[in-house]
């Protein structure tokens, strides 16, 4: 098969997504052409467009893949809701400190695709709705009177931490996010106040 030269054992669709993931995150979505991804994946235009009829389809698949990775990781969160929220904050702090960190791929994509009706924004919204639901569920299990509001505030903190980790001091993210998250929870869970 022309798309499977020696040494290329990953399926073509996965190679395309791998190339897109690297390039989109490192360079920005709109800055990366389909031709660049095709070359990096070692495939042809015909094969590329068979899997992804438009670049927007590829971008949505890239975001859905990122979401799936995060959802899979969330399955290993501690059962205790407080420990789970702390683990999320620590993971975000670690992520913000890794070499090559360029912010949250979902926030980055939303910035590049401002129309709420765009398919890329739909992928962003799917992930953010899932994440908000996870945080609200954990806050509710902790006893928050209004878990949705607590989740709104905790997700805003997370978003700010991701941006801060990219444009300012990534080393401060984990500790600051934990401290601010505890302050939010103190407002929503009277028994949580120390």
Q: What is the pLDDT of residues 63-115, one digit of tens each?
A: 999 999 999 999 999 999 999 999 998 888 888 777 888 889 999 999 999 99
| Residue ranges in the chain whose pLDDT is less than 70 | 1-8, 170, 191-194
Per DSSP, 42 falls in state T
Domains of the chain: 1-53 (1.10.10.60), 55-192 (1.10.357.10)
Phi, psi (rounded to 5 degrees) for 190 = -55, -40
- Measured CA to CA, the distance from residue 194 to residue 123 in angstroms comes to 39
pTM: 0.88
Closest-CA residue to 5 (of 47, 34, 33)? 47
Cα 60 to the center of its chain, rounded Å: 12
* Residues 68/17, Cβ–Cβ less than 8 Å: no
* Residues 18/11, Cβ–Cβ less than 8 Å: no
């Amino acid at each position: 098969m022309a798309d499977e030269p020696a040494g290329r054992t990953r399926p073509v669709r996965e190679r395309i997504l791998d190339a897109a993931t690297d390039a989109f995150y490192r360079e920005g979505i709109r800055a990366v052409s389909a031709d660049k991804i095709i070359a990096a994946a070692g495939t042809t235009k015909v094969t590329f467009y068979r899997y992804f009829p438009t670049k927007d389809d590829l971008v949505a698949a890239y975001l859905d893949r990122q979401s799936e990775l995060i959802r899979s990781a969330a399955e290993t969160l501690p059962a205790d809701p407080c420990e789970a929220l702390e683990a999320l904050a620590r993971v975000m702090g670690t992520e913000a400190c890794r070499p090559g960190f360029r912010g949250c791929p979902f926030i980055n994509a939303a910035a590049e695709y401002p129309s709420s009706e765009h398919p890329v924004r739909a992928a962003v919204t799917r992930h953010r709705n899932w994440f908000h639901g996870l945080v609200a569920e954990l806050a509710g299990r902790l006893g928050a009177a209004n878990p949705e509001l607590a989740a709104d505030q905790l997700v805003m903190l997370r978003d700010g931490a991701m941006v801060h980790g990219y444009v300012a001091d990534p080393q401060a993210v984990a500790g600051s996010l934990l401290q601010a998250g505890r302050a939010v929870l103190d407002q929503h869970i009277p028994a949580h106040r120390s």
